[in-house]
Every structure is written in C-alpha cells, then in structure tokens.
Amino acid sequence: MSDTNARMRTIFRTKTAKALTRMEDPRDALDDSYEQQVKLLHQVRQAVAEVATAKKRIELQGEEMGARHRRLGEQAREAMEQGREDLARAALQRRAALESQVTKLQVQHGSLQEQTAALQERERRLAEQIAAFRIEKETMKATYSASEAQVRANEAVAGIGANMDDVGANLDRARDRVAQMQARAQATGDLLSSGALQDRTAEPDADIERQLSELASRSDIERHIAALKSEKADGGRSSGMAGDAPDRWLSIGQAPPA
C-alpha cells in the first residue's frame, strides 16, 4: 500500500509540475501576444475595407450628381436658345441647389479619404511590427527550447532534477525487490535440492534416482582415490588411465574396463 501511495504522489507531483510549467511557459505567452496582434491587424484591415466601401458609395453618388449637374446646365442653355428664360432659370436654380449637396458630399469624401490613408498607414506599420515580432518570437522560443533541453540534460547528468528524489527512491525499492527475489530463488533452490520441497514437475520416484546418482558419484570418487593411492604405492606406475592420447576425452566419465 505504501508503494502504491508513493507512486500516486509521484504521478500527482509530475502532472502538477507539468501544468505549472505550461502556465509559466514564455513560449505560450509569446504565441498569445502574436495572436492578439494578428487579430488587431485583421480589425484594422476590416476598418480599411469598410471606409473604402463608404468612400466608393460617395464617389458613385458624386458621379450621379455630376451627371445631373451637367444635364441641368445643358437644359438651361437649350431653354435660352428656345427663348424660354423661365425654364433656363428653373434649371439653373436646381443646379445651384445640387451644387450645395455636392459640396457636402465632397467634404465627406475628403474626410473618408483621409481616414483611408491613415488606416492604410497604420495597417502597414502594424504588419511590419507583427512580422518583426514573429521573427523575434520564434528566435526566443527556439532559444528557450534549447536552454530547456540543456538544463534537463545537465540535471539528468548531475542527478539534480526535480523528480530525481523519486527516481532514486524507486531505484532503491527496485533493488530491494531484486535482492529479495534472488534470496527467495536461492532459498527455494536449496530446499528443492535437499528434498524439503517436493518438485511437482519431476517424474515419480525421481528423488530415489537422484540419491542413487549421488551415491554412485561418491563411489566413483572413492574408487579414483584408491587408484591414486595404489599408483603412489607402486612407485608412480600408471594405473591404467589413458595418457595424453588425442582421444582421451572419449574416456572421461566412463568406467575403467574390468
């Protein structure tokens, strides 16, 4: 249970640290600032388009009024030619009233033209500023990422990372478990060899066969000891064992001929 709690604490601290890192990451702040500037540029461009549309409407109205102004002048001239001074006077009066409207339209058109020029200049400067900021932003992000990678590498080499204590604790627990498992394996192996534990996978009566094999091995050792003693008593004469013949290995472990 304690190991589980320790792992849960480690996971929680890791996730919390990652969340705080994301909140404090200057790269995110730079991206947010860039997005805000891009939105502002979009708004300026929208304003330029709206002002340009309004200016175009005024220009169309001015063209219509200009055409009517010319037509009234022609009508006044034609009326005078026809001897209708009254009609000529009426046409000129209407043209004078139209000129007043055209004058107001010209003022609006000039104002919109100034606004358009100012907005276009602001758009140009803002676009240049955003382009420069984007270059600086990407440079700063790359520098931060490289520095962050270097810090992590240095901490990993020096073992001073924020989670190195947890890593060390996990490593110590793993070492303890490996040692416990090794000791258990050795103990169960000894018990199995001594017969205290029964091998469920062995064949029936395998324990008797194992003991007989051990007796035969000990008997063979005693026989060789006796042969060596006899050889020593005979003055070092050969006991019948093969010498340095190339095929000597074929007789290793074989019983000597009767």
pLDDT at 41 over 70: yes
Residue position matching structure tokens 């050795």 = 186
> Do 105 and 58 meet the contact criterion of CB atoms below 8 Å apart?
yes
Percent of the chain's residues with pLDDT above 90: 26
Three-state secondary structure call for residue 172: helix
pLDDT given at position 198: 61
Three-state secondary structure call for residue 199: coil
d(CA 221, CA 45): 103
Q: What would the pLDDT profile of 165-213 be if each residue is shown by its tens digit?
A: 666 677 778 888 888 888 888 877 777 666 665 655 656 656 666 677 7
Pick from 48, 71, 98, 249: nearest CA to 79: 71
| Residue 10: pLDDT band with limits 50, 70, 90 | low
Burial class of residue 5 (count of CB atoms within 10 Å of its CB; 0-12, 13-18, 19+): exposed
> Do 59 and 109 meet the contact criterion of CB atoms below 8 Å apart?
yes
Residue 107 neighbours by CB under 8 Å, 6+ apart: none
| Three-state SS letters, 96-149 | HHHHHHHHHHHHHHHHHHHHHHHHHHHHHHHHHHHHHHHHHHHHHHHHHHHHHH
d(CA 95, CA 91): 6
d(CA 1, CA 134): 52
Residue 113 neighbours by CB under 8 Å, 6+ apart: 55
Domains of the chain as residue ranges with CATH: 18-162 (1.10.287), 164-195+206-233 (no CATH)
Q: What would the pLDDT profile of 110-156 be if each residue is shown by its tens digit?
A: 999 999 999 999 999 999 999 999 999 899 888 888 888 888 888 77
* Rg of the chain taking only CA atoms, in angstroms: 53
Amino acid identity, residue 173?
R
Show the tokens assigned to 106. Answer: 């010209």
